Amino acid sequence: MKIYIAYTGGTIGMVPSDNGLVPDAAFAKQLADQLGQYKELEHECVIESYETLIDSSNAAPKDWAMIGRDIENKWQDFDAFIVLHGTDTMAYTAAALNYMIAPSKKPIIVTGAQVPLYKARSDAMNNVLGAVSACEHLVAKKRQGVFLFFADRLIEGDRAHKSHTSDWRAFRSVNSPAYGELGIDWEWRDSHFSQLLIKPPMKFRIPDMEEGTVTMLPVFPGVQAEHWQGLLNEKVKGAVLLSYGAGNAPDKNAALLGVLKAASERGVVIVNVSQCGAGSVVAGAYAAGSALTNAGVVSGKDSTYEAAFARLHVLIGLGMDSREIKDIFNR
């Protein structure tokens, strides 16, 4: 099997500097040397380091597009793709790749590490080797898609959430069991396999994503219209509303709802996602939630905020209008 491994930056390949850890281009060679030691890995792994390596907290939607295009350019030459990425925004990138390359006919796995490869107790090789193993099994079982692999979990690209700053298991699968869990052997969620058997034709849809077109609107006790007004500037075409519980926000503040209504009327798609971190938005369960629906807000259902944000960016980047985008979220 031929596997393309792209190092985009992130802790996995970082080294110390005077200001703390920074990504290092020498990492690609070190990783190649380490992988070369495992004679039982009979794959041809091509490891490339991106020209500008970043801490993923600097990642922007244009970086998702760059990774997507890199994969598209190499598509015919490889059986599987591994993207080495910082953990901070890994869930956003995995979700964006999931929407830009849909449904992927080859495994694309995003991974990274909590501790850099150069350190004795690094999780880097465990995660890279786990991602390689996932590629082997997915190709053998003719299962594909975009995933995030971390510690021992293979998580669907639009389900991942960074849930711990320092645990080896830094990611969890939101509102769905992990697609696979790696112990000595893999344990697969077979029901997911069968769901994925029927797939529409694959497409690369990688837009030039304009930064700042999507924002997040936090709901918090005492939130005022002024807090959101600045966030919903003229450039914005999409917003993820981080609501309480099953999708609620204060419904006694007319000015606040007025800001949402006005934005919605000028074509901003506002998607309601719960702050709870698990469960679903249930439109109309409470009057406080219905007020949002009346203001034109659409339900993000059980989506993560990372996935809703990335999806909005991709759909807006593709030039869809607000009606088309709302239809997709309502489906």
Binding string, residues 75-104; x marks residues near ligand ASP by CB under 6 A: -----------xxx----------------
Per CB under 6 A, 264 contacts ligand ASP:
no
264 CB neighbour count, 10 Å cutoff? 21
**What's the min distance (Å) between Cβ of 3 and ligand ASP?**
21
What is the smallest separation between the CB atom of 70 and ligand ASP, expressed in angstroms? 18
Q: Is 237 helix (H, G, I), strand (E, B) or coil?
A: coil
Torsion of CA 263, 62, 160, 271, to 10 degrees: 10
Q: Which of 13, 61, 107, 112 binds ligand ASP (CB under 6 A)?
A: 112
Say how far residue 25 (Cα) sits from the centre of its chain. Answer: 24
Considering the complex, state which of residue 123 and residue 136 has its C-beta at the smaller distance from ligand ASP. Answer: 123
- The burial class, CB within 10 Å (0-12 / 13-18 / 19+), for 51 is exposed
Nearer to ligand ASP, 57 or 330 (CB): 57
52 is catalytic: no
Cα 173 to Cα 40, 147, 163, 181: the distances in Å are 30, 11, 9, 11
Query: Residue 304 interacts with ligand ASP (CB under 6 A)?
Result: no
Min dist. Cβ of residue 106 to ligand ASP (A): 25
One-letter amino acid at 326 equals K
Q: How far is the CB of 115 from ligand ASP (least distance, A)?
A: 9
Q: Is 170 helix (H, G, I), strand (E, B) or coil?
A: coil
Does position 63 bind ligand ASP by CB under 6 A?
A: no
State the residue for tokens 């694959």: 202
57 binds ligand ASP (CB under 6 A): yes
Distance CA 142, CA 107 (A): 9
- Which listed residue (8, 11, 87, 93) is catalytic? 11
Indicate whether 55 belongs to the interface with ligand ASP (CB under 6 A): yes
Quickly count: other Cβ atoms within 10 Å of residue 251's Cβ: 17
Residues at the site binding ligand ASP, with contacts judged by CB under 6 A: 9-11, 55-57, 86-88, 112, 114
Residues assigned a catalytic role? 11
